[in-house]
Copies of this chain bind each other. A is one copy, B any other.
Amino acid sequence: MPKDVAVIGVGQSAFVRGYQGSIRELAFEAFREAMQDAAITVKDVGASVVCSAPEYDKQRTPSGLIAEYLGLNPQPTFIVENVCSSSTSGIRVAYGLIKSGLHDVVVVLGFQKMSEITSADSQERMGRGADIMFESPFGTLMPAYYAMHARGHFAKYGTTEEDLALIRVKAASYGVLNEKAVYRKAVTLEQAMEAGPVCSPLKVFDCCANADGASCVIMASADKAKEICKEPVYILGLGAATAPMNVTGRTTFAGLDCARLAAKEAYEMAGVGPQDIDVAEVHDCFTIAEMMAYEMLGFAEPGKGPELIRNRETYKEGKIPVNVDGGLLSKGHPIGATGGSQVRTIVLQLRNKAGAIQVPGAEIGLVHNIGGVGIYGNVIIFGR
């Protein structure tokens, strides 16, 4: 079990709709919290990796602006981006920078102020996240892609709309407890089932919402971590894979290959299996995405995901607690910041500092973060 690189600090802004400050201020909110958590100063930082999807920023090359504002000059900085999985790709990059010996301490700062542009523009730009020559001309937007996956899962395994609704009911029950979430109200099964359609079979409560937010994960070499940190949480395994951008290249609609392959790689590197995971954060941009994650990560056999949620096995008290911070469905999804927010939740869990949502005795945690229309898959396994 490799323990070469550790997380020594985590931070997150509140995720909100319509943040009133600038992107540098938004980034600072997460950075300050993570720096206080790590109890280090800017002089200890060797480099920063800034994660943001550029379609939402008026500022070009925001890494330089943010590094300056955070006091992270003259340390190198650059953008790492693959839309919704940008900040876990940033963590993968930081792992390499640290383990290779180039840097001892690296800050991974994810942010997105999606409200910089209008909601209509946001949809248009998300559309251009699909192949602009062969696919986006047909007008397929994110809910449509995941609706295809829902239909695929329904057809192959008999999954129902109610199974998906149960996932939102769970997410909302934890969103109530999360001070940093956009949505903090409980949702009943009836409410979820009666909500209006977005793209059939997905209804309003099956979809996460755009949000503004920032996250920060500070990483260090194991030697440095032991020196400065009381509670390092180690990266035990990383996996990453990419699926064809064009949906015609997809081998199935009942799952996501990029997640399955990334999980396999991460488990192998960590030397653990799905049964060893005590708590997980998965990319629930849509309820069907969480359902597929259960199966891609091996928490359930293919087609058996619905049983997990029907039996409440992914609740905090269940066999494999998933998204007990409310998930993207409750927190909102500021795309460049999302992966870092997932990592923060897992790190707090493994430190036994997660408060009301603490999974007792959690020792090994997993983050699953997906980018684009099921294109980019990152899985990271953490341990004490």
A residues with a Cβ closer than 8 A to B are 22, 47, 53-55, 58-61, 63-65, 67-68, 72-83, 85-86, 89, 92-93, 95-102, 125-126, 128-129, 131-133, 238, 240-246, 249, 257-258, 261-262, 371-372, 375-376, 378
Contacts and interface: CB of A to CB of B under 8 A. Distances in A.
A77 B82 contact: yes
A242 B69 CA distance: 12
B92 A371 contact: no
Task: Kindly report how many copies of this chain are found in the complex they form together.
Answer: 2
Nearest to A262: B76
A103 B72 CA distance: 29
Contacts of A65: 131, 245
Given A61-B129, A97-B96, A102-B95, A80 B78 contact: yes
B375 A64 contact: yes
A74 B372 contact: no
A240 B63 CA distance: 14
A68 to B, nearest CB: 5
A84 to B, nearest CB: 9
Given A64-B375, A101-B99, A77 B128 contact: no
Please indicate which of the listed interface residues A54, A238, A372 has the most CB atoms of chain B within 10 Å of its own CB: A54
A81 B82 CA distance: 11
A102 B250 CA distance: 26
